[in-house]
């Protein structure tokens, strides 16, 4: 009796034990293959990570080269006041020498960049300009949680790129619209786009146009979003959100008719800095000036800093009847005024 015949007889006579044995062998093999697959995937992931790290680098100024160029400029001027090659040298009244450099000295030369980019192993390169602080006209702020923006007066840092998709903020995901690009969208995004195309009868080019208009519209017109609250088929509330450089003040008082009797009367003044769409501007940390005239007094400082785009003060009576006017002023908004009427109520004296 050979091994094959013996196996067939065991299978026929002891079916339960044979099936159990085969199940154990199958499950054990699955675990072994799964372990090999995970190990291979881990090695591949590490290899891809190493390749990604080594695939890009940033070229910044070289301090040694900077000193050499400065020394060369000093040598050319021969110890005299003057300017050469973007370096400016001046002797102060104290006898000390002062040297500073302009952009022609600090900027990387295009021919040097092209020479480096032409080296073997470099597939593509990007040129990024230095950050320039500008007013936020049609620009969207990139919030950085690692930077203290307590005193940031709504400014934005503008920089240019030869290739926007190679910008380090785009690659790190800080700028969501250019994070992937149309050619490298994740599968989940493509599935959502396919569902929208089937649901609303859109073509692929329609999806590309929508993506370019509302998401990856770098350099285009600022996107405006309107959110409508609908109840029973009617719009009951609407909020518009978009980058806005035009700010205005909203000033409200707890009450404007002040009456002084046995004690003074006081009104609470609340100030909010709003954008062009009436939304709070939380990063508008503006100095707010309060000027009060008439038969009332200002309680608190005349200048305060808006925190989160909001601040306030108090106005109280001072024993005089008449009218008073409070003017709220900031350098970036139009003035707002609020008016008060003050009455004096005679209190009866009981003996």
Nearest to 278 by CA among 234, 236, 309, 233: 309
**How many domains in the chain?**
2
pTM of the model: 0.41
- Percentage of residues of the chain with pLDDT beyond 90: 17
Q: How far apart are CA 230 and CA 207, in angstroms?
A: 26
Is 122 contained in some domain? Answer: yes
* The pLDDT of residue 51 is above 60: no
Q: What is the DSSP string of 5-64?
A: HHHHHHHHH-HHHHHHHHHHHHHHHHHHHHHHHHHHHHHHHHHHHHHHHHT-------HH
Spatial contact of 275 and 246, defined as CB atoms under 8 Å apart: yes
| Radius of gyration over every alpha carbon of the chain, rounded to an integer in angstroms | 36
| Lowest-confidence pick of 64-68, 168-172, 310-314, 340-344 | 168-172
Nearest to 239 by CA among 277, 196, 287, 290: 277
Asked which of 154, 184, 214 is the last residue of a domain, the reply is: 184
- CATH number, domain of 290, equals 2.60.40.10
* Most confident stretch, 6-20, 166-180, 316-330: 316-330
| Lowest-confidence pick of 42-56, 180-194, 256-270, 332-346 | 42-56
Please give the residue range of the domain that contains residue 138: 65-184
Q: Does 76 lie in the same domain as 153?
A: yes
Is 22 contained in some domain? Answer: no
Q: Does 161 lie in the same domain as 269?
A: no
Q: Which residue has the higher pLDDT, 316 or 179?
A: 316
Rounded average pLDDT over 160-171: 70
| Environment class of 316 (CB within 10 Å of its CB; exposed 0-12, middle 13-18, buried 19+) | middle
Q: How far apart are CA 79 and CA 91, in angstroms?
A: 9
pLDDT given for residue 291 in this prediction? 94
Is 104 contained in some domain? Answer: yes
In angstroms, the first-to-last Cα distance of the chain is 132
* The pLDDT of residue 50 is above 60: no
Q: Does 177 lie in the same domain as 102?
A: yes
Q: Does 169 lie in the same domain as 252?
A: no
Q: Does 153 lie in the same domain as 73?
A: yes
Asked which of 184, 211, 227 is the last residue of a domain, the reply is: 184
| Lowest-confidence pick of 2-6, 95-99, 204-208, 308-312 | 2-6
Is 30 contained in some domain? Answer: no
Rounded average pLDDT over 93-116: 77
Q: Does 177 lie in the same domain as 71?
A: yes
Q: Does 259 lie in the same domain as 170?
A: no
Is 56 contained in some domain? Answer: no
| Environment class of 84 (CB within 10 Å of its CB; exposed 0-12, middle 13-18, buried 19+) | middle
Q: Which residue has the higher pLDDT, 130 or 250?
A: 250
Q: Does 178 lie in the same domain as 82?
A: yes
Q: Does 180 lie in the same domain as 71?
A: yes
Is 32 contained in some domain? Answer: no
pLDDT given for residue 72 in this prediction? 87
* The pLDDT of residue 4 is above 70: no
Q: Does 262 lie in the same domain as 163?
A: no
Spatial contact of 310 and 272, defined as CB atoms under 8 Å apart: yes
pLDDT digits (tens, 9 = 90+) for 224-256: 778 889 888 898 888 877 766 678 999 999 999
* The pLDDT of residue 279 is above 80: yes
pLDDT given for residue 255 in this prediction? 93
pLDDT given for residue 294 in this prediction? 93
Question: What is the pairing mode between strands 336-344 and 257-260?
Answer: parallel
Is 203 contained in some domain? Answer: no
Is 325 contained in some domain? Answer: yes
Q: Which residue has the higher pLDDT, 13 or 284?
A: 284
Q: Which three-class secondary structure state does DSSP give residue 128?
A: strand
pLDDT digits (tens, 9 = 90+) for 209-220: 776 666 655 555
Asked which of 165, 184, 203 is the last residue of a domain, the reply is: 184
Q: Does 179 lie in the same domain as 263?
A: no
């Amino acid at each position: 009796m050979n091994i094959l015949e013996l196996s067939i007889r065991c299978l026929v006579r002891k079916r339960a034990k044979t099936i159990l044995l085969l199940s154990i062998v199958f499950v054990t093999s699955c675990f072994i293959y799964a372990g090999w697959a995970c190990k291979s995937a881990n090695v591949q992931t590490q290899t891809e990570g190493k390749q990604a790290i080594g695939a890009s680098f940033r070229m910044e100024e070289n301090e040694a080269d900077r000193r050499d160029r400065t020394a060369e400029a000093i040598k050319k001027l021969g110890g005299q006041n003057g300017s050469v090659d973007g370096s400016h040298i001046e002797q102060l009244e104290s006898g000390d020498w002062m040297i500073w450099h302009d952009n022609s000295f600090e900027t990387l030369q295009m021919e040097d960049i092209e020479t480096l980019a032409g080296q073997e192993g470099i597939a593509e390169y990007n040129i990024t300009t230095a950050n320039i602080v500008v007013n936020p006209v049609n620009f969207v702020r990139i919030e950085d949680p690692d930077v203290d923006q307590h005193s940031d007066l709504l400014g934005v840092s503008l920089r240019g790129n030869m290739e926007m998709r190679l910008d380090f903020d785009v690659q790190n995901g800080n700028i969501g619209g250019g994070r992937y690009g149309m050619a490298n969208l994740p599968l989940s995004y493509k599935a959502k786009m396919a569902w929208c195309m089937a649901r609303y009868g859109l073509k692929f080019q329609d999806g590309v146009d929508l993506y370019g208009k509302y998401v990856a519209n770098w350099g285009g017109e600022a996107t405006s979003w309107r959110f409508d609250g609908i109840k029973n088929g009617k719009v009951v509330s609407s909020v518009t959100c978009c980058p806005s450089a035009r700010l205005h003040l909203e000033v409200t008082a707890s009450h404007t008719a002040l009456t002084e009797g046995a004690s003074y009367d006081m009104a609470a003044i609340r100030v909010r800095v709003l954008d062009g769409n009436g939304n709070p501007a939380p990063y508008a940390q503006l100095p707010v000036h309060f000027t009060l005239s008439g038969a009332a007094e200002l309680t608190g400082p005349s200048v305060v800093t808006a925190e989160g785009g909001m601040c306030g003060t108090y106005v109280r009576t001072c024993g005089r009847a008449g009218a008073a006017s409070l003017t709220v002023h900031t350098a970036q908004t139009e003035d707002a005024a609020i008016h008060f009427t003050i009455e004096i109520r005679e209190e009866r004296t009981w003996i």
